[in-house]
Amino acid sequence: MADAMLKIDSLIKRFGGLVATDSLSLEVEPGEVHALIGPNGAGKTTLIAQLSGFLRPDAGRIEFAGQDITDLPAAARVRLGLARSFQITSVLRDFTALDNVALAEQARQGHSFRFWRPARADPSLREPARAALREVGLADRADVVAALLSHGEQRQLEVAMALASDPRMLLLDEPMAGMGPEESARMVELLRGLRGRRTMLLVEHDMDAVFALADRITVLVYGRALATGTPAEIRANREVRVAYLGEGDG
Amino acid sequence: MTGMTAPLRTWRGRVAVGLLVMLALLPWYSPWLDAAGIISQRFALTVMTRVVILAIAASSLNLILGYGGMVSFGHAVYIGIGGYTVGILTYHGIGSGFVQFPLAILLSALLALAIGALSLRTRGVYFIMITLAFAQLLYYVAVGLEAYGADDGLTIGRRSDFAGLIPIRGPNKFVAFYLLSFVVLLLVLGLVHRLVNSRFGMALRGTKSNDARMQALGFPTFRYRIVAFAIAGALCGLAGALLANHTEFISPAMMHWTRSGDLIVMVVLGGMGSLLGPVYGAVAFLLLEEFLPAALAMVLTWLHAGLTAVLGAAAAGDLDAWLKMAEYWQIALGTILILVVLYARGGIDGLFGRSRHG
């Protein structure tokens, strides 16, 4: 078996008395779509925050592509190829859709200590940005200010920005959050199109989407991994059914 | 030539070009104003030189406040550093502008780097307070400089010497110094324009819009913010060096916190994050400060005359009592500022039409 793309080893994060991540170990294989499910408060977003460098774990180790990234700042992780999207839509609201993606491309190209040439006239930024917008179906909305895009479109833009950094792995924090059924379906199609080309860790509440997309699923309860397995195994797991699937929208 | 005429296609552009042309031509039409008895040429040039220099300082603040979202409440400290560099060097007999100005810029940049390194790790009110604290610290350092006049300041005997290339000490010194300041303003505006539209500028504006998102995109945002902070400090130090030459005097008051507040008011009044905003702000704020008392007195005199004509002298009362009210002109200034901030989003620049980009 190939080395894991992402390896989480005995990760612990406490907030006061609350243990949000409780000795969690998890491996994501290259190319797989790994879904993370669990009830509210299971520590999913906390985990994403630690993986992307926005929270420092109290103990444990995170390895990405064979490199220890536990203490790396967020921006450095992105440059290694670990990109995230946000649960709460987090585009640059004052910028156009195209500017948003162009900034992601700008970050990918290295440092931005270039002070003179106008960035908006630079085809090496604009062309890849347009391509990423096409990939998520936002080509005709390129010049709209992000704040004026619909919620679903902003979520698509999030994915386009994550894609523009050409990451080896995507951390997707509830990409379908707050979407209507039609928008959700479009997002599932979009992510399905990326499957196999990008490794993904997907946090999602929409069970239909999870079971449609994931190669493997980890169930998180109270900061611990209750079970990891294929969708079929997870569906059949008694413990999981009791703890999670049974009580809700299974 | 479409590039040259592009700004003239919108009202916003026409007003901007109009203002810059008015400023550029001041030395040529101010003699007419003088002859017409409106304002003496020397006074007009003196006032407008100050406006232009503070427009440079406000433009430097606009770079970090308007484009970078950093509310520095200690920006006047760099005016002080620039001014004291010129003053102290002159005091010790080093009068060359080719030494004074680069050193003023360099020292201001270094100070900004140091202040930025400590303050940019904080946000919001904490950032405002820390920048204010550093500025106050340096203010009191200047107050303690007994050798250079302490609280009373230091009179500068001679203006910077540019090897005779820039005649700011000769018989035409008012015109020459005004034009020098105006050219520096144009250069600073040109520089800010290039900066904010470059990759660096896009990164900086991104951190204003959403810093966490920028980090998630892979931007080490602190580095871009601190470099912008240092550039802003350097440009403001340049304004300080000019100001010391203009007044031929330095004192701690140059970097008093109220001066920092004035700079913020100029930027907000003129329009944050618009290139010409700080220029509008400096013109409007300083001219109101200069002429509002006289204008109020004039209006009050008219009102008094009208009331006397309609109701008689007894009802109108004593004119002096009326004119006393003009002493409270700052209330009128404050009211105008509040109205602009509340009702003119985007400041004065916003009144002339919306900008295309945020």
pLDDT at residue A244 tops 80: no
Burial of A140 (0-12, 13-18, 19+ CB in 10 A): exposed
- Cα–Cα dist A129/A92, whole Å: 15
**Residue-range definition of the domain harbouring residue B205:** 12-351
* Cβ distance of A73 and B210 shorter than 8 Å: no
Closest chain A C-alpha to B193 CA, distance in angstroms: 9
Q: What is the pLDDT of residue A103?
A: 95
- Give the pLDDT mean for B62-79: 96
- What is the pLDDT of chain B when averaged over all its residues? 92
* Cβ distance of B203 and A103 shorter than 8 Å: yes
Number of domains into which chain B is organized: 1
Q: What is the pLDDT of residue B4?
A: 64
B311 near B323, Cβ under 8 Å?
no
* Cβ distance of B219 and A75 shorter than 8 Å: yes
Q: How many CB atoms lie within 10 A of CB A68?
A: 12
**Chain B partners within 8 Å of A79 (Cβ):** 218
**Chain B partners within 8 Å of A73 (Cβ):** 215, 220
Instruction: Write the single-letter amino acid at B148.
Output: Y
- Cα–Cα dist B68/B280, whole Å: 20
Let me know if residue A250 belongs to a domain: no
CATH number, domain at B289? 1.10.3470
Q: What is the DSSP annotation of A7-45? A: EEEEEEEEETTEEEEEEEEEEE-TT-EEEEE-STTSSHH
Q: Which of A155-164, B13-22, B26-35, B120-129 has the lowest mean pLDDT?
A: A155-164
> Closest-CA residue in chain B for A87?
B213
- Cα–Cα dist A32/B340, whole Å: 56
pLDDT at residue B255 tops 80: yes
Q: What is the pLDDT of residue B1?
A: 43
- Cα–Cα dist B56/B61, whole Å: 9
Q: Which of A141-145, A199-203, B203-207, B331-335 has the lowest mean pLDDT?
A: B331-335
pLDDT at residue B60 tops 80: yes
Which among A75, A115, A161 is the nearest to B200, CB-wise? A115
Let me know if residue B161 belongs to a domain: yes
Number of domains into which chain A is organized: 1
CATH number, domain at A181? 3.40.50.300
Max avg pLDDT among A152-166, B127-141, B311-325:
B127-141
Q: How many CB atoms lie within 10 A of CB A152?
A: 18
Let me know if residue A52 belongs to a domain: yes
pLDDT at residue B2 tops 60: no
Let me know if residue B6 belongs to a domain: no
Which among A76, A90, A119 is the nearest to B213, CB-wise? A90
CA A112 from centroid of its chain's CA atoms: 24
- What is the pLDDT of chain A when averaged over all its residues? 89
* Cβ distance of A119 and B210 shorter than 8 Å: no
Q: What is the pLDDT of residue A1?
A: 46
What percent of chain A stands above pLDDT 90?
A: 58
Let me know if residue A208 belongs to a domain: yes
Q: How many CB atoms lie within 10 A of CB B327?
A: 11
Helix (H, G, I), strand (E, B) or coil at A228: strand
Let me know if residue B97 belongs to a domain: yes
- Cα–Cα dist A29/B138, whole Å: 56
Instruction: Write the single-letter amino acid at B95.
Output: G
Q: What is the pLDDT of residue B3?
A: 60
CA A166 from centroid of its chain's CA atoms: 13
- Cα–Cα dist B218/A164, whole Å: 11
A162 near A83, Cβ under 8 Å?
yes
Shortest CA distance to B357 belongs to which of A88, A65, A173, A119?
A119
DSSP A244: I
Specify the length of chain B in residues.
358
Q: What is the pLDDT of residue B86?
A: 97
Helix (H, G, I), strand (E, B) or coil at A198: strand
Structure confidence at residue B340 as a pLDDT band (50, 70, 90): confident
ipTM greater than cut 0.90: no
Instruction: Write the single-letter amino acid at B149.
Output: G
Instruction: Write the single-letter amino acid at B163.
Output: A
Let me know if residue A163 belongs to a domain: yes
B261-289 pLDDT, tens per residue?
A: 999 999 999 999 999 999 999 999 999 99
Let me know if residue A1 belongs to a domain: no
Retrieve residue B82's tokens: 């620039």
Structure confidence at residue A246 as a pLDDT band (50, 70, 90): low
Let me know if residue A17 belongs to a domain: yes
> Closest-CA residue in chain B for A125?
B199
Q: What is the pLDDT of residue B164?
A: 80
Structure confidence at residue B357 as a pLDDT band (50, 70, 90): very low
Q: How many CB atoms lie within 10 A of CB B220?
A: 19
* Cβ distance of A75 and B201 shorter than 8 Å: no
CA angle B156, B158, B160 (to 5 degrees): 105
Which among A93, A96, A118 is the nearest to B197, CB-wise? A118
Q: What is the pLDDT of residue A238?
A: 87
Hey, is the C-beta of A228 within 8 angstroms of any chain B C-beta?
no
The H-or-E segment that residue A39 falls in is none
**Residue-range definition of the domain harbouring residue A13:** 6-245
Structure confidence at residue B356 as a pLDDT band (50, 70, 90): very low
- Give the pLDDT mean for B245-249: 95
**Chain A partners within 8 Å of B221 (Cβ):** 75
A49-108 pLDDT, tens per residue?
A: 999 999 999 999 999 999 999 999 988 998 899 988 877 778 899 999 999 999 999 998
What percent of chain B stands above pLDDT 70?
A: 97
Hey, is the C-beta of A64 within 8 angstroms of any chain B C-beta?
no
Choose the mutation target among B213, B222, B272, B275 for the interface with A, i.e. most A CBs under 10 Å. B213
Max avg pLDDT among A109-123, B318-332, B341-355:
A109-123
Q: What is the pLDDT of residue A2?
A: 56
Q: What is the pLDDT of residue A248?
A: 47
Closest chain A C-alpha to B40 CA, distance in angstroms: 42
Max avg pLDDT among A105-109, B139-143, B335-339:
B139-143
Instruction: Write the single-letter amino acid at B114.
Output: A
**Chain B partners within 8 Å of A69 (Cβ):** none
Hey, is the C-beta of B227 within 8 angstroms of any chain A C-beta?
yes
Let me know if residue B111 belongs to a domain: yes
Structure confidence at residue B355 as a pLDDT band (50, 70, 90): low
